[in-house]
Amino acid sequence: MLPFGVTPRRVGGAVLVLLQFCLLLWLALMATPTLMQAGMTLPGWLLVGLSGGLGAWTLWHNRLGNFNVHPEPKTHGQLVTTGPYRLIRHPMYTTVLLLAAALALVPAHALAWLIWVALFGVLLTKARLEEDWLCEHHPLYASYRQHNKRFVPWLF
């Protein structure tokens, strides 16, 4: 029996957040030895730059008080549809995937890319859970979701 206020959906969201951070840490640990010796390649720096730019743009429009790492929206959170949210529904997840791709490039190892694929799966599952909650909390979200792609503008 779960304690009051704890639901299987909330537990699932917490597990997804934990998996997300564990996979990112694993990628960072794999990349560290190569980064210490050789540094980042130009494609890696481009991915880091894209990630940082998109992340900053996203936080500019979705302020930290509204932002939540857990997929459950904050009780008094506002639906943001400006800035990068005009183009994609989950710009912070795209930011994480770009940074993770930069980290996966460093060791140039198949395992790093398998971890990246696992991270993509975790973020896709997390996005779907978050969207279910957003539809419940924000009546306009269902319409917004029909007009915007999830992670990549005009594609996905």
pLDDT exceeds cutoff 90 at 107: no
- Percent helix, percent strand, percent coil in the chain, to nearest 5: 65, 0, 30
Count of residues making up the chain:
156
Handedness of CA 40, 64, 138, 9 (dihedral sign): positive
End-to-end Cα distance, the chain: 38
Q: What is the pLDDT of residue 98?
A: 98
CA pair distance 76, 105, nearest whole angstrom: 39
pLDDT tens digits, residue range 113-153?
999 999 999 999 999 999 999 999 999 999 999 999 999 99
Q: Which tops the pLDDT comparison, 105 or 4?
A: 105
pLDDT exceeds cutoff 90 at 52: yes
Ordered DSSP codes for 88-132:
BS-HHHHHHHHHHHHHHHTTT-HHHHHHHHHHHHHHHHHHHHHHH
pLDDT exceeds cutoff 90 at 4: no
CB 123 within 8 A of CB 10: no
